[in-house]
Structure 1
Amino acid sequence: MRLKKYTDYALRVLIYTASKPENTLSSKKEISDVFDISLNHLAKIVHELQKAGYIETIRGRNGGLRLATAPASINIGAVVRLMEDDFNLFECFSCETDYCVISPVCKLKGITGQALREFLRVFDSYTLADITENNKELQHILGIGYDSPTS
């Protein structure tokens, strides 16, 4: 299974904002520069994350973005499902485009469906807090400098 860059970038935005000190704002430009993501693309991702309630944006001169909720309440599986628009691994997963002649009796669809459920179950077992528990290392590699202890 391969996830889209869109999903990868959304997870990077969440990791970056979770690595910042609590209530510290990040700018889209800052995140764009760190991960070398186009600002245009990043704006769409941030908008999607904001609509879902993961990111809060503050307008104005001193504005920016930050997590809207605690990292422990952001489930990675839910984020993956939000950002991915198509989990149809084969044609037969979609009623509209299933033209396979063996589809009514094929066992592969069931096996593939099980594999997909297991794939997503692993993501469901983690939160943003789990994948950012190495906050100091993330801050160092991302160039986030601050002296207070992490939460």
Structure 2
Amino acid sequence: MRLTAFTDFGLRALMRLAGEPERLFTTEEIAAEYAISRHHLVKVVRDLAAAGFIETRRGTGGGFRLARPANEISLGEVVRALESRAALVECFRPDGGQCALSPDCRLKGHLARAGDAFLRSLDAIPLSDCAVTSIPCRLKTAVPA
């Protein structure tokens, strides 16, 4: 399985929030710590809030933090929420994609079972097991291309 960058950023942000659950974080802060795009992170934060993983506060002194305890959030739950737009393969798309093998494809069922097994294994892992309290300095600065 390959997760999208969107889900990767979401998991990283949640891991950081889990490390200091009472603290409010800003998108600028998380983006700088992980050397990722703030613009992209804003979209991730929006989806995390809509899915009920984080709560946000606007204005001066605002930011975001976990909406519930990290031990009550499973990695599988997060991945399902953030990967809902990304189909594992084209034929899993809501519109069926452009697969020339459908409806006779025998691969689809195997891939569906593998994807389900992957998510079930992540269901057993609480976010609290992955909490991060600080970011190593090497991650704080982007490496020049």
TM > 0.5 fold call = yes
| TM-score computed with the length of structure 2 as normaliser | 0.82
Query: Residues 56 and 66 of structure 1 are in contact (CA less than 8 Å); yes or no, is this contact kept in structure 2?
Result: yes
Q: How much does 1:142 deviate?
A: 5.0
Query: Residues 27 and 38 of structure 2 are in contact (CA less than 8 Å); yes or no, is this contact kept in structure 1?
Result: yes
Mapped partners of 2:91, 2:37: distance in 1: 35
Instruction: Describe the shift of the 1:113–1:24 C-alpha distance in structure 2 as closer, same or farther (beyond 3 A).
Output: same
Mapped partners of 1:112, 1:34: distance in 2: 36
Unpaired segments of 5 or more residues in structure 2? 138-145
Query: Residues 50 and 57 of structure 1 are in contact (CA less than 8 Å); yes or no, is this contact kept in structure 2?
Result: yes
Query: Residues 74 and 125 of structure 2 are in contact (CA less than 8 Å); yes or no, is this contact kept in structure 1?
Result: yes
| TM-score computed with the length of structure 1 as normaliser | 0.79
Q: How much does 1:130 deviate?
A: 2.2
Identity %: 40
**Matched ranges for 1:63-78 at <5 A:** 63-78=62-77
Unpaired segments of 5 or more residues in structure 1? 133-137, 144-151
Tell me the equivalent position of 2:15: 15
Query: Residues 92 and 100 of structure 1 are in contact (CA less than 8 Å); yes or no, is this contact kept in structure 2?
Result: no
Q: How much does 1:12 deviate?
A: 0.5
Mapped partners of 1:50, 1:93: distance in 2: 26
Tell me the equivalent position of 1:58: 57
Query: Residues 76 and 124 of structure 1 are in contact (CA less than 8 Å); yes or no, is this contact kept in structure 2?
Result: yes
Query: What is the letter of the counterpart of residue 78 of structure 2?
Result: V
- Per-residue CA shift, 1:64-106, capped at 9, x if unaligned? 11111100111211111111112342x43345325424x3443
1:24 paired with 2:3, answer no
Instruction: Describe the shift of the 1:61–1:93 C-alpha distance in structure 2 as closer, same or farther (beyond 3 A).
Output: closer
Please tell me the root mean square deviation across aligned C-alpha atoms, in Å.
1.9
Query: What is the letter of the counterpart of residue 25 of structure 1?
Result: L
Higher relative contact order (CA 8 A, sep 6+): 2
Secondary structure, counterpart of 2:87 in structure 1: coil
How many residues align structurally?
A: 135
Query: What is the letter of the counterpart of residue 67 of structure 1?
Result: L
Mapped partners of 1:44, 1:56: distance in 2: 14
Query: Residues 13 and 30 of structure 2 are in contact (CA less than 8 Å); yes or no, is this contact kept in structure 1?
Result: yes
